[in-house]
A and B are shown apart, each in its own frame.
Chain A
Amino acid sequence: MDADLRSRIEKTAGLYPRAESALMPALYAAQAANGGWLSQEVLAEIAKMFRVSLSRVRGLASFYTMFNLEPVGRFHLQVDTNIPAMLAGAEETLEHLKRRLGIEVGQTTPDGLFTLSEVEDLAACGTCPVVQVNDRYYEEMTPARVDELLSSLRRGVMPEMPVTANWGTKCDMLLHRRGKPNGTALAGYVADGGYAALEKALSKSPSEVTAEVKASNLRGRGGAGFPTGLKWGFLPQQSERPVYLICNADEGEPGTFKDRQILEFDPHLLIEGMIISAYAVGAKLGFIYIRGEFAEMAEILERAIAEARAAGKLGQNILGRGVSFDIVVHRGAGSYVCGEETALIESLEGKRGNPRLKPPFPASEGLYGCPTVVNNVETLATVPYIIQHGSEAFRKIGSPNNFGPKLFGVSGHVRRPGVYEFPLGAPLADVLAEAGGVEGEMKAVIVGGLSTPILTAAEAEGLALDYDACQKRGTMLGSGGVIVMNRTASIPRIALRAITFYAHESCGQCTPCREGSRVMRELLKRIVAGKGTVNDVDQVVSLCGTIRGATLCPGGDAYAIPIAAMISKFRGEFEAMVSGGGAKTAPVLAARA
């Protein structure tokens, strides 16, 4: 580690209240400065610099997918093979790459130019297949475009490869600046009326701002749909310890790619939303925890933050009103579980992304043990409208108890996969129509991201897309990631790919998830390979039943419930795959009703 790298790391550490939070940024910086990987020597130097144990640093680096502990080629080709990508042909893309490069997954070409990896959902579901090359996304990667990419990379150039990226809006709120030239710049944002809500908010008291958000009944857009104003209300009235606001930009739920629309195309909307929210909850420092794969978007955010600071909208004495708030952008490094708020907080503290026991909740003991609020990108981006136009106006949009606009990411077997803004409660049929309609005949649909129960086409008839309606229908709106499957989709293969994802992402802390996801994956592998038995299918269902409610974090439910749903609703497909169809033996573990 040379002196320049050291001083950059020291500078970064100074941005955080606790230096250890800078461990992950330090690993990134060291990796970039050392040929894209982290050797034992580099890790030892970092441990020494931060005065933490070697095992802590190795434990940290080995937890996250994006830290390379072995050398990688000059261009690291990371192919998303998760379900939305799978449905768009990612397996073909991967095979094509294997053939072109002459290597298997996990290997590097002899000339050291390319390393090929399979990765999980990159939040590019509407523009699949997607290949991440080092820190950049290359989307809509048909074999032809793959060839174009490879030939450019062989010349040492990371090419520009524009994408179509479908989108549409019925509300013109969250996607208001999409498609506008210079939409991410401060000037454009302000000219468009941006930061007026901030002015208005600062003219009120913090409790007035909170009251407005409470009155709007804005429900958290991260997936749980928990009322945001209520969440803010859990913070202690008086606190000697500082309050922190964290924006959860970890967007890792397969099928979800809505937050990136705001990060990429309207960063100031998020920033304004954060400043107003921070004012309401009394936070002087906020963080945007952005998934590591969103490197380009992190840069966009940094530029926007710098602009906002320079214009006095952020930092000390905002708008001359004596209010202070600043934002630190913190990159994750490849871990789905860090989208869970307590795991996110652990990660922000420079640790492995292990969810914490609740209680205590972040509102009382969060980041560094201080009161903390974690809100989703889309939630925060909705706040400016509520303040600017009032909760009354907000409640006119959407359906009863489910107010406001919602970004729906539509992927899978539709003609125009992309992100579409509709009021909450819009009929699924309308959203699918906006996405160009289903390709072929719909067999099944997942409406809220992979962690929600699948619906058969029949069950999806007439479904309205809001939190309450979805729950009544036996599923969840979740993140609003709509994955459409037509008759060509094999549900057992989807179930296998799903459990492979969850097993990969399991943090490994608790027995049911760590071992259960592994066992379920192996059983489903057997089943899909035609080597399973009916008993194996029953065993999977049984495990789903007992894992549910038994895990340390909601992560266990996230797959136990959906996979049970896949099997129960498409049982025939699973049974057709087992060999011999031998006698059905009773499962060992009692299944939960």
Chain B
Amino acid sequence: MNITIDGKNLEVQAGQTILQAARANGIYIPSLCYHPRTGKAGRCRACLVEVEGMRGMQTACTVAVREGMIVNTATEAVLAARRMVVELLLADGSHDCLSCEANGACELQEMAFRLGIEKPSFIVADADQTRDESSEGIVRDPKKCIQCGRCVASCNRNVMHEVLDFGWRNAGVKVICDDDKPMGDSTCVQCGECVQICPVGALYFKPSKGKARQWEVQYKQVICPYCGVGCVIDMAVKDGKYMWAKGTEDRWEKRPNQGMLCVKGRFGLEFLGKPDRLTTPLIKRNGALEPASWDEALDLVAKRLGEIKAANGAGAIGCLSSAKVTNEENFAMQRFARRVIGTNNVDHCARLCHASTVAGLATTLGSGAMTNTMQEAAKSKVILITGSNTTWCHPVFGGMIKKAVRQNGVKLIVIDPRETDLAKIADIHLRQKSGSDVAWLMGMQRIIIENGWHKESYITERCEGWDDYRKSLDFYTPEKVQELSGIAPEDLKAAAKLYATNAPGAIYFSMGITQHSHGVDNVKACANLSLITGNLGVEGGGVNPLRGQMNVQGACDMGALPNVFSGYQPVIDESNRKKFAAAWGCAPESMDDKIGLTVTTMVEACGKQIKALYIMGENPMVSDPNLNHVEQQLRSLEFLVVQDIFLTETAQMADVVLPAVAFAEKTGTYTNTERRCQLGRTALPAPAGARQDYEIIADIAARLGCADFPRTPEALFAEMRSLTPSYRGMTFERLEKECGLRWPCPAEDHPGTPILHIGKFTRGKALLSALPYRPPAEEPDCEYPFRLTTGRLLQHFHTGTMSRRADVLDRLVPRGQVEINPADAARLGIADGEKVLVSTRRGAVETTAQVLDRVGEGVLFMAFHFAEAAANRLTIDALDPVAKIPEFKVCAARLEKTACCKG
């Protein structure tokens, strides 16, 4: 439609406000409280304009455009009102721009400049308010606050942490944290959204204070290196150094994170500039790692790998790829293993997390990935979350689920042994015994079918395996389920009813389902539940594994797996081997035709079949189960090469260490948990001496006789997509233009695929799985009476290589603890904060007790981020027979005070 602003005729869209229409057309109307991500507020009154036919003045941010509307933004009355708003905000005399962090990007300063206001016309002093510097990452300066309400709106309606609100009244109104506590004493998780959205300098980042002026930085778009949400970050870079981070607001509605970040994306990128970045290759001589030249190091690697291959065969070498490097680099690593070494012994850390998913969903649905998208949370009528502490491990997405519950009336069921944040707001929270998931999942299905809540026609048309499946449910009576899981029959029925009688329903799961010795069964049980309720192939439904690492989905997609090439094309299939051999310029017979070893079986085979490991961006010395054993195993290798950005615990054991660059220092693509491939471009230079992972691999390949190994991301991507139907339609240009693409994307005009299995499954009909009950490998007994479960924290990531080197994260959580229930603590006479020894049959770790009822009685929880108190010294390496994933989530442990001794 057409409207007129200041005499200019403009074409605008229906539904826009005057302010939005003006901005879209480059017309200046100031506003301090409206923000596209928090919506209209009408509080600041800076956007007042005159509209012909409407009495008085109107706020441009609240009035929708109408055909033929005539707007005047610069009449005398409007300008007087605008001046008044600025004068009144400046009137308390406390807005000093000189050293303000917001100088140059301050919306109040901008307004004053436009109005020609050089200093306040009248000063009427207000009560003094001190700065709040109590939190690790954020400083609040209430004297600069203009009470616009954006931070409150964002905290309560977008990131959903619900920490901030307005307190008090009249001119005494101020933003408060929790019960008006200092931010550092509140429940604030330091996501930093309030700082990002503040129009003035009332909130700023502590770590970067004084380091750069707003106009000295360039913003470069990168993909967050932490979790599988794949937040798009605008990294502020000055003189090639990282300054601070914002969630990108460039086309924010289309991004997985909608402009938001978590504390790790916000404050966790500092590791990039830490002085202990690896900058020179290291070679172990006489038991110590010594600096060497690149040529020396690469020559040695090629020599040793060549020797070991010649002596023992290609199968003696294993390659560990990385969920932290690009798709191109993952493709390069599996190409290296297969083309250059001639082995399928290539794997990566997905083995430790979602191997069950990939196997389980590939079998039942035909495709092992998240079936729906993160954006659909609000479209579900019911969400069931199990085995995922979403607000800690996929924080921005956890917030979206919370938002869907709070704002869209979505019902929430959480089945978790611990009272997670989402459990607190769930309609139903049930605490099950770790390891009993098949029982309660199948038990729910039995109840659903018994009550006729299942979708018969969907099952008939789209599923197979009903008879065996139905029979297998007989075992899971409510009483049996209670015996195995601890869940009471009435509770199980309530959960079953809530899930089955609300459509569409989505299931989200993560490690609590996958990291078991029967993890594949767990995944299949989830698929069963979704299938019988007709929730696959529909918007708002799905079976949705939340992938942990920012590129673990990509690493799998790229074929850094022992059984498939890229795109999950099986290696045992001769036509696949032929295709790849042709592309790689080698004879098909030279390609390994057997499924290779996994991360976990490679570790087992160290010193036996496996003589050498080439590890890129992985830290098994902290991430694998039963670390004492892992250490032993790695020591039995003849040759270990580690390529990484810091000297990790694993690198310390290597014969050769190769310094690589980090995510922000490379260009390439990454695929997040919802199959969305996004492009990240180099944002700043790597430390001198470090090299691109793909270059290092190509150099080693060249030394091993493969001179035509692709050497650039573009070349690798081009080759990959020519061989991988699901990525074929993607190009770097498309990825940038369309904010990423979800596979399958088979052609360059294909828009990508948000929802899988619409109409038919990848395997045709889905398979309903008959599942027997198999208990965890090791359950509590008299000697080890606790059920130990492990997992992650919000503030740290995995082995802590990056997150523990970020000062804010390190200060927020400097060391590990063990969660213990108050009743158990009381029985053992253990106080909160006391030093304790946790031991299992595999090892012992000294740590500190954290007494709280987040864990139930008889349960202990430890995060695995802390190498010096590594939870994985305790965990058991019992593996799922198909997926080979370890049972990180259950083993038997005991806990005692450290002062008290054995014997």
Chain B nearest CB from A352 CB (Å) reads 7
Q: Mark B851-871, 1 if CB is under 8 A from A, else 0.
A: 000000000000000000000
- Interface check A63, CB cutoff 8 A: yes
Chain B nearest CB from A285 CB (Å) reads 21
A288 and B840 CA atoms in complex are apart in Å by 64
Contacts of B831 in A (CB 8 A): none
In chain A, positions 535-593 with a C-beta closer than 8 Å to chain B are 539, 543, 545-547, 549-552, 588-590, 592
Chain A nearest CB from B163 CB (Å) reads 6
Asked if B165 and A58 sit within 8 Å, CB to CB, the answer is yes
Residue in A62, A357, A504, A588 whose Cβ sees the most chain B Cβ within 10 Å: A62
- Interface check B456, CB cutoff 8 A: no
Supposing A51-B425, A512-B45, A590-B76 touch, asked if A517 and B170 sit within 8 A by C-beta, the answer is: yes
A516 and B170 CA atoms in complex are apart in Å by 10
- Interface check A392, CB cutoff 8 A: no
Q: Mark B531-544, 1 if CB is under 8 A from A, else 0.
A: 00000000000000
A543 and B89 CA atoms in complex are apart in Å by 13
Contact residue among B40, B57, B62, B167 (Cβ-Cβ distance under 8 Å from A550): B57
Chain B nearest CB from A82 CB (Å) reads 16
Asked if A55 and B164 sit within 8 Å, CB to CB, the answer is yes
Closest to A593 in B: B77
Contacts of B46 in A (CB 8 A): 511
Chain B nearest CB from A484 CB (Å) reads 29
Among the stretches A146-154, A182-190, A378-386, A518-526, the one at the interface with B is: A518-526
- Interface check B48, CB cutoff 8 A: yes
Total interface residues on A, using CB and 8 Å? Answer: 48
Asked if B43 and A516 sit within 8 Å, CB to CB, the answer is no
In chain B, positions 367-413 with a C-beta closer than 8 Å to chain A are none
Q: Mark B32-48, 1 if CB is under 8 A from A, else 0.
A: 00000000101111101
Supposing A512-B84, A552-B43 touch, asked if A58 and B169 sit within 8 A by C-beta, the answer is: no
Q: Mark B324-350, 1 if CB is under 8 A from A, else 0.
A: 000000000000000000000000000
- Interface check A53, CB cutoff 8 A: yes
Contacts of B171 in A (CB 8 A): 503, 506, 508, 514-515, 517-518
- Interface check A507, CB cutoff 8 A: yes
- Interface check B300, CB cutoff 8 A: no
A82 and B143 CA atoms in complex are apart in Å by 31
- Interface check B586, CB cutoff 8 A: no
- Interface check B147, CB cutoff 8 A: yes
Contacts of B57 in A (CB 8 A): 549-550
- Interface check A13, CB cutoff 8 A: no
A592 and B76 CA atoms in complex are apart in Å by 10
Chain B nearest CB from A210 CB (Å) reads 28
A508 and B167 CA atoms in complex are apart in Å by 10
A477 and B149 CA atoms in complex are apart in Å by 36
Asked if B84 and A514 sit within 8 Å, CB to CB, the answer is no
Supposing A518-B171, A519-B91 touch, asked if A510 and B43 sit within 8 A by C-beta, the answer is: yes
- Interface check A295, CB cutoff 8 A: no
Q: Mark B146-184, 1 if CB is under 8 A from A, else 0.
A: 110100000010000011111111111100111110000
**Total contacts A-B at CB 8 Å:** 147
Asked if B170 and A504 sit within 8 Å, CB to CB, the answer is yes
Contacts of B91 in A (CB 8 A): 515, 519
Asked if A516 and B84 sit within 8 Å, CB to CB, the answer is yes
Asked if B166 and A59 sit within 8 Å, CB to CB, the answer is yes
Q: Mark B43-81, 1 if CB is under 8 A from A, else 0.
A: 111101000000011010010000000000000110011
Contacts of A335 in B (CB 8 A): 169
Asked if A506 and B169 sit within 8 Å, CB to CB, the answer is yes
- Interface check B121, CB cutoff 8 A: yes
- Interface check B106, CB cutoff 8 A: no
Asked if B83 and A589 sit within 8 Å, CB to CB, the answer is yes
Asked if B77 and A507 sit within 8 Å, CB to CB, the answer is no
- Interface check B88, CB cutoff 8 A: yes
- Interface check A54, CB cutoff 8 A: yes
A56 and B161 CA atoms in complex are apart in Å by 12
Q: Mark B750-765, 1 if CB is under 8 A from A, else 0.
A: 0000000000000000
Closest to B64 in A: A359
- Interface check A66, CB cutoff 8 A: no
Closest to B171 in A: A518
Asked if A549 and B165 sit within 8 Å, CB to CB, the answer is no
A50 and B126 CA atoms in complex are apart in Å by 35
Asked if B169 and A507 sit within 8 Å, CB to CB, the answer is yes
Supposing A357-B62, A506-B170 touch, asked if A546 and B40 sit within 8 A by C-beta, the answer is: no
Contacts of A547 in B (CB 8 A): 84
- Interface check B458, CB cutoff 8 A: no
Contacts of B166 in A (CB 8 A): 59, 352, 508
Asked if A588 and B85 sit within 8 Å, CB to CB, the answer is no
Asked if A63 and B87 sit within 8 Å, CB to CB, the answer is no
Asked if A512 and B85 sit within 8 Å, CB to CB, the answer is yes
Asked if A505 and B170 sit within 8 Å, CB to CB, the answer is yes
A62 and B44 CA atoms in complex are apart in Å by 22
Contact residue among B88, B167, B170, B173 (Cβ-Cβ distance under 8 Å from A519): B88
Asked if A522 and B84 sit within 8 Å, CB to CB, the answer is no
Chain A nearest CB from B63 CB (Å) reads 9
Contacts of B165 in A (CB 8 A): 53, 55-56, 58-59
Residue in B43, B80, B169, B424 whose Cβ sees the most chain A Cβ within 10 Å: B169
Contact residue among A508, A511, A545 (Cβ-Cβ distance under 8 Å from B172): A508
Chain A nearest CB from B59 CB (Å) reads 8
Contact residue among B77, B89, B167, B169 (Cβ-Cβ distance under 8 Å from A511): B89
- Interface check A509, CB cutoff 8 A: yes
Chain A nearest CB from B902 CB (Å) reads 41
Contact residue among A55, A518, A550, A590 (Cβ-Cβ distance under 8 Å from B124): A518
- Interface check A43, CB cutoff 8 A: yes
Asked if A58 and B180 sit within 8 Å, CB to CB, the answer is yes
Supposing A357-B42, A512-B88 touch, asked if A58 and B76 sit within 8 A by C-beta, the answer is: no
Contacts of B43 in A (CB 8 A): 509-511, 552
In chain B, positions 115-135 with a C-beta closer than 8 Å to chain A are 121-122, 124, 126
Chain A nearest CB from B146 CB (Å) reads 7
Q: Mark B424-443, 1 if CB is under 8 A from A, else 0.
A: 11000000000000000000
In chain A, positions 471-514 with a C-beta closer than 8 Å to chain B are 503-512, 514
Contact residue among B84, B122, B156 (Cβ-Cβ distance under 8 Å from A53): B156
Residue in B77, B87, B89, B170 whose Cβ sees the most chain A Cβ within 10 Å: B170
- Interface check A101, CB cutoff 8 A: no
Contacts of B601 in A (CB 8 A): none
Closest to B84 in A: A546
Asked if A62 and B45 sit within 8 Å, CB to CB, the answer is no
A538 and B546 CA atoms in complex are apart in Å by 64
Chain B nearest CB from A547 CB (Å) reads 7
- Interface check B187, CB cutoff 8 A: yes
- Interface check A44, CB cutoff 8 A: yes
Contacts of B88 in A (CB 8 A): 511-512, 515-516, 519
Residue in B59, B122, B147, B180 whose Cβ sees the most chain A Cβ within 10 Å: B122
In chain A, positions 48-82 with a C-beta closer than 8 Å to chain B are 51-59, 62-63
Asked if A589 and B170 sit within 8 Å, CB to CB, the answer is no
- Interface check A40, CB cutoff 8 A: yes
Asked if A55 and B169 sit within 8 Å, CB to CB, the answer is no
In chain A, positions 445-491 with a C-beta closer than 8 Å to chain B are none
Closest to A516 in B: B88
Contacts of A539 in B (CB 8 A): 122
Residue pairs across A and B with Cβ atoms less than 8 A apart, 12 shown, are A43-B179, A55-B177, A56-B165, A62-B167, A63-B167, A508-B168, A508-B173, A510-B44, A511-B46, A514-B171, A515-B92, A546-B80
Binding site for A on B (CB under 8 A): 40, 42-46, 48, 56-57, 59, 62, 76-77, 80-81, 83-85, 87-89, 91-92, 121-122, 124, 126, 146-147, 149, 156, 162-173, 176-180, 187, 424-425
The 6 closest A-B pairs by CB, nearest first: A508-B173, A55-B165, A515-B88, A53-B162, A518-B171, A59-B165
Known: A44-B179, A519-B124. 12 other contacts (CB 8 A): A53-B156, A53-B162, A55-B163, A58-B176, A62-B169, A62-B180, A506-B169, A506-B171, A508-B173, A509-B149, A519-B88, A550-B48
